[in-house]
Amino acid sequence: MNEIERRRTFAIISHPDAGKTTLTEKFLLFGGQIQVAGAVKSNKIKKTATSDWMDIEKQRGISVSTSVMEFDYKGYKVNILDTPGHQDFAEDTYRTLTAVDSAIIVVDSAKGVETQTRKLMEVCRMRNTPVIIFINKMDREGRDPFELLDELEEELQISVRPLSWPIGQGQRFKGVYNIFEQNLNLFTPNKQRVTETVEVKLDDEELATRVGEDFAKQLRSDLELVDGVYPEFNVDTYRAAEVAPVFFGSALNNFGVQELLNCFVRIAPSPKPTMAEERMVEPAEKKFSGFIFKITANIDPNHRSCIAFCKVCSGRFERNQPYLHVRNGKTLRFSSPTQFMAQRKSTVDEAYPGDIVGLPDTGGVFKIGDTLTEGEDLHFRGLPSFSPELFKYIENDDPMKAKQFQKGLEQLMNEGVAQLFVNQFNNRRIVGTVGQLQFEVIQYRLEHEYNAKCRWEPVHLHKACWIEAEAPEALESFKKRKYQYMAKDIEGRDVFLADSGYVLSMAQQDFKEIKFHFTSEF
């Protein structure tokens, strides 16, 4: 129970460029995992961010895939998942949210709430995930803090309560007053190291000498207003996902980050029960269970290995113990399970609920959504693939490399980068994605990681949907009628590829007994 209580597993989510990866770097700095923080975009600082380790991420300065990091802080064990903000990789982020107990949403102080932020908040709301909001980039000219708070309430449909407050902003930004602990920490701005802090109380004379008379006056009146407008902070309403605590700061200059981290480890929930199809699984149960929410190939470019990320839901995971792989009914042992610091990894002997363990996956044993248990027949739910919106034929561009092409494509699809359909009519492979950028990532990774070249050919399609019917003969007659639009996905399920919205709605009208699904989970 002690081990479960001290776990904090959370994801950092936001619109692109709000500063997720920079915030992750600063957390690792305070957690003592790294001595010097890297930068996402910078010519002077040669160290790139720890969590952006793929070549393509370093070149473009964006995160393409979720990375997992863990560190100890003040007696707590913190597991961070830094997710891609770019909407083309939204599926990776949605899947990550199934494996965490809480989330931190990063908002840019100048831009406020953006489209991707709204979508991610909806996913959190569906799963009742508690969120903390961090308003970043206070060192740049931005909007009025009160205005931002109103926008958060309106756009994200959640009550907010500030737990820290900025003193000035932009060029005049002096630091952050900590409402949660009622003190003021003044840092010297430093982008790469943690600096000494000075502690000052609100009613001290020293406040005026530190920040100036005007700022001290402004701060006192702002705080009176905050206490008048917003209700007292209550941990239970935050954990019930009814209220979102708000922090202000500048991740780049280390302002407000430690306040956020200190408060987070104290109030964030420890691992919660997980719903399986059969029953509710409690973290404190004796027997181990967990599910795979992500698969990454080629973390180490010298070894062609896949790693499956397993979230521990109950019991204790132990090295070399036999565990049942529920989908194919085989018993597996893992001699070298790992824990992560993005790309660096170390072998672990045991893991507790809330932890994320990397399991070496040599023969493509795992698929996203697989369950591991100590023998019980359990199925964890909630890892959907969405119906893709962009389609292209994929062809092997170098006949001599057919084997590499086949293997690379298979591994990337198992990783959930995109979806692959095989057309039943002409046996050609069609790749479906939610964003244009994914096609570039597939092409780049096939070439650099598998030494295989591909070329894209246009195909005119509107939507892919999974189909099923209660009567087998109804399904057969539909497949005969629509023969040239039928395909199979990697799992061998029937998929109908409609080439226009009109064709799709006519099919739904004409074939009443067929069910059309737009996510793969039904």
Q: Which residue in this structure is represented by tokens 């070399």?
A: 320
- The amino acid sitting at 412 is L
Q: What is the mean pLDDT of residues 185-203?
A: 60
State the pLDDT at residue 43: 38
Sketch the domain layout of the chain as residue ranges: 2-267, 274-373, 390-517
State the pLDDT at residue 186: 67
- The whole-chain average pLDDT of the chain stands at 78
Residues belonging to the chain: 522
Domains 2-267 and 390-517 share a fold: no
Cα gap 100→268, rounded to integer Å: 11
Q: Look at residue 431 and tell me whether its pLDDT is greater than 70.
A: yes
Q: Is 132 or 4 the better-scoring residue by pLDDT?
A: 132
Q: Look at residue 360 and tell me whether its pLDDT is greater than 50.
A: yes
Q: Look at residue 153 and tell me whether its pLDDT is greater than 70.
A: yes
Q: Look at residue 372 and tell me whether its pLDDT is greater than 50.
A: yes
State the pLDDT at residue 274: 80
Q: Look at residue 516 and tell me whether its pLDDT is greater than 80.
A: yes
Q: Which of 97-106, 190-199, 298-307 has the lowest mean pLDDT?
A: 190-199
Q: Look at residue 437 and tell me whether its pLDDT is greater than 80.
A: no
pLDDT per residue as tens digits for the range 198-228:
666 666 666 677 777 787 788 888 888 888 8
For 274-373, give the CATH class. Answer: alpha beta
pLDDT per residue as tens digits for the range 384-406:
666 777 899 999 888 888 898 98
pLDDT per residue as tens digits for the range 65-86:
556 777 788 888 888 876 765 5
Q: What is the mean pLDDT of residues 9-19?
A: 78
Q: What is the mean pLDDT of residues 168-174?
A: 76
Cα gap 139→256, rounded to integer Å: 11
| CATH ID of 390-517, from 3.30.70.3280, 3.10.20.90, 3.30.230.10, 2.40.30.10 | 3.30.70.3280
Q: Look at residue 440 and tell me whether its pLDDT is greater than 60.
A: yes
Question: Which fold does the domain 2-267 belong to in CATH?
Answer: Rossmann fold (3.40.50)
State the pLDDT at residue 178: 80
Q: What is the mean pLDDT of residues 316-326?
A: 87
Going by pLDDT thresholds of 50, 70 and 90, the confidence category of residue 522 is very low
Concatenating the DSSP letter of every residue in 432-491 gives: EESSHHHHHHHHHHHHHHH---EEEEE----EEEEEEESSHHHHHHHHHHTGGGEEE-TT
Q: By three-state DSSP, how is residue 96 classified?
A: helix
State the pLDDT at residue 345: 64
State the pLDDT at residue 183: 75
